[in-house]
Amino acid sequence: MPSQQMVGILWIVVLFGLMWFLLIRPQQVQQRRRQQMIASIRAGDRIVTAGGIVGTVTAVRENSFLVRIADRVEVELQRSGVGYVLSSSGQEKEKEGEKDEGK
């Protein structure tokens, strides 16, 4: 009888471990990547908001960004409102440097 209880407890532990590796761990990795992406946003980066609006970051604040979405139109966007980064200002400068070298 005690061995059956141990087997039952062992199955619960194995299922919990499997669930952690299949569900919880990937979510933690994704959340960590998102936090790194948001922390690396600088002025000049092109972003897409969670609502689908494309704009260019003009200023970085403690808890928000100023984003230019049209000529003379800037909105303040909370950090959590960033969907993803289209291109960073550093990447664009690298591409421009590669084009100059090719000439």
Query: Could you tell me the CATH number of the domain that includes residue 69?
Result: 2.30.30
Q: Are 50 and 83 contained in the same domain?
A: yes
66, 74 contact by CB (below 8 A): yes
Q: What is the pLDDT, as a whole number, of residue 53?
A: 95
Q: Are 5 and 29 contained in the same domain?
A: yes
66, 78 contact by CB (below 8 A): no
- Round to whole Å and give the CA distance between 41 and 80: 12
Q: Are 50 and 93 contained in the same domain?
A: yes
Range(s) of the domain holding residue 32: 1-39
Q: Are 51 and 23 contained in the same domain?
A: no
67, 52 contact by CB (below 8 A): no
Q: Are 16 and 28 contained in the same domain?
A: yes
Per-residue pLDDT of the chain (103 residues; tens, 9 = 90+): 568 888 889 999 999 999 888 888 899 999 999 999 999 999 999 999 999 999 999 999 999 999 999 999 999 999 999 999 998 876 555 555 555 555 4
Helices (H) and strands (E) in the chain, counts: 3, 5
Q: Are 45 and 8 contained in the same domain?
A: no
Q: What is the pLDDT, as a whole number, of residue 101?
A: 52
Q: What is the pLDDT, as a whole number, of residue 88?
A: 80
